Amino acid sequence: MTADDKKGLSIKNLFSRKKTEGPPGKTGGKPSQENKGLSVAPVAEDDLDSFMKRLGLSPGEKENPEVPPFPQAGTKPKEPEQDLTPRVGDAGSPGKESDLTTNISHPQRPSKYSPAEKKEPVPAHTPPKFEPAKKTIWSTEKPVLEETVISVDQINDLSGLILPKGATFQVEEIKIQDRSNIFTIKGGNDAIAGKDLFKSDISDTGIKKVSEAASEVHAEAGKGGILSKLNPINVIRKVPVEYNPRTHGALVDLTFRPRPGVEQTEIYPVNEPYAYVRITYDNATHEYLYEVLEPKLTPAENDLFADIKERIFERLDINTQNVLEEVAKKTLRDVTDDIIDDYGLSLSPLQREKILYAMYKEFLGNGMIDPLMHDRYIEDISCDGVNANLFVYHNRYESMRTNLMYKSSEELDSYVTKLAQRAGKYISIAEPMLDATMSDGSRIQMTLGTEVTAHGSTYTIRKFKDEPITPTDLIEWHTFSPLSIAFFWMAVESGKSCLFAGGTASGKTTSLNAISLFMPPLAKIVTLEDTRELKLPHPNWIPSITRTSFDTNGKGEIDMYELLRAALRQRPEYILVGEVRGKEALTLFQAMSTGHVTYSTIHADSVASIVHRLENPPLNVPRNMLSALDLVSVQVQARIGGQRIRRNKQIIEILDIDPRTNELITNEVFRWHPATDEITYSGKSYVLEEIMESRGWDEERMKEELKMRQEVLEWMRIKKVRHFRDVGNILVQYYRDPANLMEKIREELYGVS
């Protein structure tokens, strides 16, 4: 093989690993000028030997290589192979023998992705030189791509297939990393021997640079949404402008547009600046209307909200109950901003804030009823079915119709199911009724579908106040008088058991929670409830709650009876039962008989009705056990001057059972008089007499003690000490150092100590 032959070798033949065969005959084409020394087809032989021979080396002995015959006349001639031998004076460095210039041409063939008539240069850049190396000039001809390969020029044409409809994005120039300078080439123009071809020294700096570049690519690929993963496309993200009400305007239109016979009563914020409530009065129907005012989404914004919601469902997998609310809000806000950036949308701060508020309600709030849950005046929320307005019970306007409703059964069923899941419960067509507790402590009763309710799914929420009612609140609202609260203070401190009775929404549980603050600060307290309502500041407090079964056979169920039995083994000083309604009532009275101080509630409106309920199924408490009870407080919901009020109707002492008539012997200590709206003391209390006897006090000492406690309660009311922890701290001070506390209180009340 001559030097000219070696000079005419093409890269295609140099690295070919395929044995060439062809039919005998003459070639139909004229060989090119560069291939004069190779008038026959390549020899079919071992790839490595062929490669070594073409480099002018001695590969070793190989016997009788087969030479393919010339192709027959009429066959398609081969395309001429181009000479890749470096020549002096080529483009790039004319006239300089030290420049090594290689021109590589790729044969073109038509493709649906790369048309042959388009020959645009591929953008390129020259990487930093780590060691002196020869410059490489790439051919301007466009390489042929396989049919399954998409060229850079077609990325924008196919953007509709990988991006949401209407999305736009910015594409920077694609930069191809030239790796020619990463390796150190020895000897300039000297040819590299075959045995040294794979032994060239590799630049350590080049390897480090490649590693750093790869790390950056992987790091960027993990950020952002779908567009940022189209590496190396760089999506330019903009920092969103935060919403400012003064600069960008109000989110909610609070303008009242008068209607015939309808007048605005009041308007107040419930979640400023996002949600407000307007109360209107209709003179025709004589009804109040509860109108929720929120940011309204346009149809386009509503479609965008639905798309973002679906994307968030795909991207986020976070249990919001395990993270702080502020952290959850920030995460949701950041993800929403990322998705908006992925869409390439330019939203105004007002539009962006409306979308974010809708996201907060959907994922972190309570959906449609989120403003109602933020309204501190709302006590109950009722949903009666599909296409029916929601109703609320306002503590000033009572029951009112709202402007909210569920317009499809799918929407309502989905929300009821979500409420059950958030409460950690399960509701289905097989078990369509459920009682649960919401995350804020509110009680909820739900039904699913039309199995048990004709108008579809329903739910009723009894809101739980974040801050429990205290004795100061009961005095401020005139539910109890200061003297009756001081009486309860003495009774609770002395270990007298009590049962709070009354109708629905009469304030039984509220009064129980408030009176429990009088328990000694370090006393062992156990509370038993179906749904969490009681909240105490005492450190030695065990809140217990019932559990439903895992299946329809009752497996794993823990009811009130089981909880009460377990509580009696914990040596409690006080036992509080949310409500007695079953067989746990007998165990409760047995605990009273053995000296445990117990407090509970029951649905009844008088002592006679209490006895009737306790003696009959399912409670089945024998009458002779009722004498273990010390006090009964009867609560009532009434109206005075057209206003709904709650009052303590009676405080009655249970003395004993008459052996002749088997009737309870009682004594009424306090009574409420509706005509004057006053609670008066009867002048006789056997409980106070027992306390006097146990402590060795006379009547004057008892009167002085009751007076001091009334002064403490009145001072807290005047000073507006209403938080349950603050009230608890004042009571602890009274237990530990009453003289010092009374000196300060009397100085503020009367100006003297």
Both 420 and 532 in one domain: the answer is no
> Does residue 471 surpass a pLDDT of 60?
yes
The reply to whether 410 and 430 lie within a common domain is yes
Continuous segment of H or E residues that includes residue 666: strand 664-673
223 within domain boundaries: no
**549 in the same domain as 487:** yes
pTM flag (> 0.75): no
CA distance 52 to 259: 98
Sheet holding 664-673, edge to edge: 541-545, 525-529, 574-577, 597-603, 498-502, 631-640, 643-657, 664-673, 678-681
Question: Which residue would you say has higher pLDDT here, 17 or 320?
Answer: 320
Q: How confident is the model at residue 23 (pLDDT cuts 50, 70, 90)?
A: very low
Task: Give Cα 151 to chain centroid, integer Å.
Answer: 42
- pLDDT at 321 (0 to 100): 65
The pLDDT score that the predictor gives to residue 121 is: 52
Asked if residue 484 and residue 457 are part of one domain, the reply reads: no
Quick check: 129 pLDDT over 80? no
Q: Are residues 459 and 486 in the same domain?
A: no
Any idea which of 380-394, 490-504, 523-537 has the lowest mean pLDDT? Answer: 523-537
Same structural domain, 266 and 403: yes
Banded pLDDT at 91 (limits 50, 70, 90) = very low
Peptide bond into 273 cis (omega under 30): yes
Residue 202 has a pLDDT of: 46
Question: What pLDDT does 114 receive?
Answer: 42
Q: Which of 85, 112, 133 is the last residue of a domain?
A: 85
Give the pLDDT confidence score for residue 525 in this predicted structure.
96
pLDDT: which is higher, 537 or 556 = 537
pLDDT over threshold 80, residue 98: no
Highest mean pLDDT among 73-82, 310-319, 666-675: 666-675
Instruction: Place 99 in a pLDDT band, splitting at 50, 70 and 90.
Output: very low
pLDDT confidence tier of residue 541, bands split at 50, 70 and 90: very high
C-beta atoms surrounding 261 within 10 Å: 10
CB 647 within 8 A of CB 670: no
Q: Can you give the residue range of the structural domain that contains 76?
A: 1-85
Same domain, 25 and 63: yes
Residues 333-345 have a mean pLDDT of 89
Same domain? For 652 and 539 the reply is: yes
- pLDDT tens digits for range 368-419: 999 999 999 999 999 999 999 999 999 889 899 999 999 999 999 999 999 9
Quickly state the pLDDT bin for 48 (edges 50, 70, 90): low
Query: What would the pLDDT profile of 705-733 be if each residue is shown by its tens digit?
Result: 999 999 999 999 999 999 988 999 999 99
Check whether 85 has a pLDDT greater than 90: no
The residue-averaged pLDDT of 695-711 equals: 95
384 plus 531 within the same structural domain: no
Does the residue 258 lie in any domain?
yes
Does residue 486 share a domain with residue 423? Answer: no
Pair (578, 609) in one structural domain: yes
* pLDDT band for position 328 (cuts 50, 70, 90): confident
Q: What is the pLDDT of residues 546-580, one digit of tens each?
A: 887 766 666 788 888 899 999 999 999 999 999 98
Number of domains in the chain: 3
pLDDT at 406: 97
Q: Percentage of the chain surpassing pLDDT 90?
A: 48
Do the strands 541-545 and 525-529 form a parallel or antiparallel pair, or are they unpaired?
A: parallel
Inter-residue contact 194 to 58 (CB < 8 Å)? no
Between 25 and 450, the higher pLDDT residue: 450
- Alpha-carbon torsion angle 139, 141, 143, 144, nearest 10: -150
Domain end position, chosen among 645, 665, 696: 696
Q: Which residues pair with 281 in a beta bridge?
A: 263, 288
Q: What is the mean pLDDT of the chain?
A: 77
At 30, is the pLDDT very low, low, confident or very high (cuts 50, 70, 90)? very low
3-state secondary structure of 71: strand
- Residue 224 CA to residue 233 CA, distance in Å, equals 12
Note whether 435 and 576 are same-domain residues. Answer: no
Residue-wise pLDDT tens digits, 572-607 = 999 999 998 888 899 899 999 888 999 999 999 999
pLDDT at 241 over 70: yes
